Every structure is written in C-alpha cells, then in structure tokens.
Amino acid sequence: MVEIRPAGPEEAAAAYELFEVELTATMFAGLFELGSGHVAVSDAGVVGAGVVNRDVGRLWVVSGERRKGIGSRLLAALEGDARHGVLRFAAATTEPSAARFLEARGYRKTSEIWLMGVDLAADPPAPAWPEGVSVRTFREKDARPVKALLDEAYGAEPDYAPLEFEAWRTFMLGDESYDPSAWFLAERDGELVAAVLTWKEGYVKDLVVSPRHRRLGLGKALMLQAFREFRGRGIERVTLKTDSGNPTQAVRLYEHLGMTTERTDEVFEKRL
C-alpha cells in the first residue's frame, strides 16, 4: 500500500537522497520549504515525491514503482495545491515517457528549455563596458536592489510569479553554491542596471539587464566577466538554462559566446 502525504523536512531529505536531480541539497529543500510538497511512501520508504512552487511542478517516482498509479496520485495532489490557476512541468526529451504521461493528463506543450554549455578558452576575452558603466561584486546590502532588478527584467515574461523578497533571499544567499565574489553588478551613475548571478561551480543562474539599458552590450560584458572569473578559478566549463519563451531571445547572445545546446526540456502546462 502506497500512501500520499504532505512532505516535511525529513521526507524531503529522504527524497533528495533517492532521486537524481540537478539541484543541491539546499535548493531541493528550499523547493519544499517555499512550496507545497508531497511524498509517496510504502513499507520500503519513500518511493515518489512531488512539489509545486508557485506555478511550477516537479515530480519523481523511483523506476521500479512506475506504472502503478503513483505518479498520477502525486500529480493530483500537486494540482490541488496550485495557487495560480496553472501548473507547468519540464519534461526532458531524453525521457519521452514523461511527455506522454503529462499529455495523457491534459497537459499541452507550450515552450522549450535549453541547457547550454561552453568550454572556456584558456584566456576568455576581456569584457568591453559601455561608457559610464562600472562593475563590482555583490554585497549583502545589494539584495533588495538586485531583487528589484530581477523583477523588472523578468516582468515581461508571461506568467512571471516573483518570490517574496525574504523567500528569494533565503533561497539564493542561503545555498551552498552561493558566492558573492562570483556575482557581478553593473552600475551607471550609481544605478544598478544589470547583473549576472552565478553558482560557484560554473552555472549562470540569472543574467538580467534593465529594459531601460538594453542593446548596449551589458549582457555580453557580464557573461565575459563571469567566464574570466570562472577560468581564473580553474573551472573549464560554464552552463546555463534559457527558454524559447524568453522575450529578449537571450539564446542569440549565448550562441554568439560559443554556447551550444546540450539538452532540451519540453514545458507542458495545464490551466486548472
């Protein structure tokens, strides 16, 4: 008998040990803390888990327990917890059964997410900064201005649902991959106009430019700044994710910088 029940910290920790996810333990725990999660538990322990955070869901079932209705029961629980009238999932094209599972339950494909990467040159090019722009690393007192810039830059994206400031601060600054010396802020006349926020292992979490300061080369300059920082640390490869619905078509910048697509995830959504 498999029971579906709300996930507490212990169940979330057990799920993290069980499933292969592209998240650190802190990120995984944060999803459950900030969102609403459920686990599927049998006599053998946790065999499935799901979490919905704002309008994005994630679901896992151990391979030996699939095709037993566990995923469907977890999905129903997540749909009941959705608070924005829509639920989205990303299904890797390397696992076609995930897309079939979602389509059979009323979800439709709306976009794609691309994991992109690049091998860094021994000496990445130096960034060229627009006139009057200076760059520096992040200080904790910058947290509110950076969060405001993120909300301004991402605000044009469809169905963007920003985190509350304290939740964002805990999620980002509390993660073991956070390193303020690998976050770079671009300023003009004392105003924060662009930023690149990275995880110290070589992953670009956010690249944002104020809509009022785009088409000046700030995005490229910040990416090259990050490349040089990572290469100086001995990191030879940088990755990031972008999606086909990005209104700025950032993928063009990343391709210009030599990044190529390594994996495609299909985004499925259902209006509830």
- pLDDT score, position 206: 97
Residues in the chain where the model's pLDDT stays below 50: none
Domains and CATH numbers, the chain: 3-113 (3.40.630.30), 121-235 (3.40.630.30)
* Rounded distance between C-alpha atoms, residue 257 and residue 182, angstroms: 19
Other C-beta atoms within 10 Å of 147: how many?
A: 18
* Rounded distance between C-alpha atoms, residue 139 and residue 241, angstroms: 25
What are 127-132's contacts with CB under 8 Å, separation 24+?
127/220, 127/221, 127/222, 127/224, 127/225, 127/228, 128/217, 128/220, 128/221, 129/186, 129/217, 129/221, 130/188, 130/216, 130/217, 130/218, 130/221, 132/188, 132/189
- Of 271, 242, 268, 248, nearest to 111 by C-alpha is 268
- Of 259, 173, 167, 254, nearest to 219 by C-alpha is 254
- pLDDT score, position 249: 85
3-state class of 235 per DSSP? Answer: coil
Q: Which residues contact 31 (CB under 8 A, 6 or more apart)?
A: 23, 37, 51, 53, 58
- pLDDT score, position 220: 97
What's the whole-model pTM score?
Answer: 0.89
Phi, psi values for residue 194, rounded to 5°? -165, 160
- pLDDT score, position 108: 97
- pLDDT score, position 251: 94
Measure the CA angle with vertex 10, ends 90 and 170; round to 5°.
65
Assigned token pair, 185: 């802020």
- Of 128, 82, 110, nearest to 267 by C-alpha is 110
Other C-beta atoms within 10 Å of 217: how many?
A: 17
- Residue length, the chain? 272
- pLDDT score, position 8: 86
- pLDDT score, position 94: 86
DSSP letter, residue 35: S
